[in-house]
Amino acid sequence: MSAEQATALVLRTYDFSESSLVVTLFTREFGKIRGIAKGAKRPKNPFDFALDLLSLCRVVFLRKSSEALHIITEAKLQRRFRVEQSGLPRYYAALYVAELLNAMTDEEDAHPELFDVSEETLTVLQKGGDIQLLVPFYELRILDLTGHSPALDMCVSCGESVRGRASAQSREEGHPTSGANARQEYYFSLLDGGVLCGRCRPGKRGVVLVPAIAIDAMEELRGKTPRDVGSLHIAPSVSGQLRGLLGQYVCHLLGQRPRMHEYLGLSGR
């Protein structure tokens, strides 16, 4: 066994025995790892609360060559995200970040950029960031960085550009439009992961109508960092549409509804 060092976010912990914990960590250097921290539940332990949920820590672990749990030998706390002090909704959003990071990544698959954006998102949440934009921002970033980026410009089925075709589509389907971007709508396929043109729409399952202004907002979010999100001027109604769409897409990819959707008010979307 070789000893490795890493900077890690604590995503999940559960009891292994009366004195030990199994921890799921997302590390900058190695991606997601699972390990056992022996003696972590004892009053005097070598981890000093560094393995609490939503903590940022520096860990040393003995790497196992098989699928067995790694052995966490040391953990030094660098920062504890106390998001609950900024309000319960933000705490739920922080737990959602941890849940998605756990559910949408593979073990031993390093994503330094995803680690950085996750840490920064938790920092902004702790400082009172707007969860109406931070939640869809983070969903979009983790989708992009894990290879599930939704196609927003071209038809995901045939590759044809769909920008500018929304008004015609709406008229064909009997949806009133005035030509304004806010009234235009696009077809979005949850199964295929992107917008559809009018010719490819028939016969497709899992298709929802999305206002063009919400698609534009997603494009705008893509070019931002968590710290930039608060400076965006996106109407609450649009951010709500984003949360609904991205929440549904995440559910499809995972094959189930994330546990934190219920607490974030997304369970009925």
> What backbone torsions phi and psi does residue 161 show, to the nearest 5 degrees?
-65, 135
Consecutive H or E run containing 96: helix 88-103
Amino acid at 180: A
First-to-last C-alpha distance (Å) of the chain: 47
pLDDT reported for residue 183:
64
Pairing of strands 70-80, 31-37: parallel
Facing residues of 207 across strands?
189
Q: What pLDDT, on a 0 to 100 scale, did the predictor assign at position 67?
A: 73
Q: How far apart are CA 150 and CA 74, in angstroms?
A: 40
Q: What is the mean pLDDT of each run of 10 residues along the chain (269 residues)?
A: 91 90 96 93 82 95 84 94 93 97 95 98 95 95 96 93 56 40 82 94 94 93 92 92 94 95 71
pLDDT at residue number 173: 43
Tokens of 256: 């189930």
Angle in degrees, 0-180, between the axes of helices 236-254 and 212-222, rounded to the nearest 10: 80
Closest to 118 (Cα-Cα) out of 35, 32, 51? 32
pLDDT digits (tens, 9 = 90+) for 193-222: 999 999 999 999 999 999 999 999 999 999
Q: Are 32 and 24 in contact (CB under 8 A)?
A: yes
pTM here? 0.89
Q: What letter does residue 43 receive in the DSSP assignment?
A: S
* HEC string for the chain: CEEEEEEEEEEEEEECCCCCEEEEEEECCCEEEEEEECCCCCCCCCCCCCCCCCEEEEEEEEECCCCCCEEEEEEEEEEECCHHHHCHHHHHHHHHHHHHHHHCCCECCCCHHHHHHHHHHHHHHHCCCCHHHHHHHHHHHHHHHCCCCCECCECCCCCCECCCCHHHHHHHCCCCCCCCHHHCEEEEECCCCEEECCCCCCCCCCEEEEEHHHHHHHHHHHCCCCCCHHHCCCCHHHHHHHHHHHHHHHHHHHCCCCHHHCCCCCCCC
Write down the pLDDT at residue 176: 38
- Can you read off the two tokens belonging to residue 153? 């410009």
Q: What is the pLDDT of residue 164?
A: 55
